[in-house]
């Protein structure tokens, strides 16, 4: 498959998903081309207040972002979202920890690409929030298509 064909398939897959949300095919294709041309999306991680994830985020603050590895894993059997994508992190050669999920709207666009075997590269950008005791931590990742 040529690069041009692969890119067109990516755009079509993303546009079809966006069309369901936007209701306008032309706008969906324009947005899909922006995503594919930009190739890098920045997103918050959803579900970071569940379990011990706040403590994990506080601990991640002490590491250089280059030491934090991010992997995305499809969770098609998720009962709440058929497009669910887990966000797992490891520090160096440590064990993997689930930090949360790709937000639902973005997962609806990325899941079909992952299902078609397109590799997405995720990187840890930074920990956000947690300024005062009553504020939750969050995290940003980048996803490269």
State the CATH number of the domain containing residue 87. 3.30.70.2330
Q: For residue 88, give its domain range.
A: 39-144
Instruction: Give the pLDDT score at 60.
Output: 93
As for how many domains the chain has, the answer is 2
Q: Are 43 and 106 in contact (CB under 8 A)?
A: yes
* 17 within 8 A of 108, measured Cβ to Cβ: yes
The verdict on 84 and 136 lying in the same domain is: yes
Q: Please enumerate in sequence order all residues whose Cβ is within 8 A of that of 113, keeping only pairs 6 or more positions apart, or say none.
A: 10, 13, 14, 120, 145
- pLDDT value at position 143? 92
Give the pLDDT confidence score for residue 31 in this predicted structure. Answer: 81
85/135 same-domain check: yes
Per-residue pLDDT tens over the stretch 2-20: 777 877 888 888 888 888 7
* Residue among 43, 31, 49, 35 nearest 72 (CA): 43
Question: Cα torsion at 81, 85, 91, 96 (round to 10°)?
Answer: 70
Band (pLDDT 50/70/90 cuts) for residue 109 is confident
pLDDT classification of 77: cutoffs 50, 70, 90: very high
Chain centroid offset of residue 10 CA: 16
111-138, pLDDT tens digit by residue? 988 998 888 999 999 999 877 666 899 9
Q: Are residues 82 and 95 in the same domain?
A: yes
**pLDDT exceeds cutoff 70 at 63:** yes
Looking at the structure, do residues 57 and 87 belong to the same domain, yes or no?
yes
| In a shared domain, residues 53 and 7 | no
Q: How does residue 81 score in pLDDT terms, banded at 50, 70 and 90?
A: very high
Model pLDDT, residue 15: 86
């Amino acid at each position: 498959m040529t690069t041009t064909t692969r890119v067109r398939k990516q755009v079509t897959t993303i546009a079809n998903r966006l069309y369901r949300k936007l209701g306008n095919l032309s706008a969906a294709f324009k947005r899909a081309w922006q995503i594919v041309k930009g190739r890098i999306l920045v997103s918050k991680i959803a579900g970071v207040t569940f379990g011990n994830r706040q403590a994990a985020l506080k601990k991640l603050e002490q590491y250089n972002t280059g030491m934090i590895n991010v992997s995305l894993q499809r969770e098609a059997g998720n009962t709440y979202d058929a497009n669910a994508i887990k966000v797992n992190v490891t520090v160096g050669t440590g064990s993997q920890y689930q930090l949360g999920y790709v937000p639902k709207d973005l997962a609806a666009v990325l899941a079909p690409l992952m299902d078609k075997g397109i590799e997405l590269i995720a990187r840890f950008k930074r920990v956000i929030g947690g300024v005062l005791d009553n504020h939750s931590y969050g995290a940003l990742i980048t996803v490269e298509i």
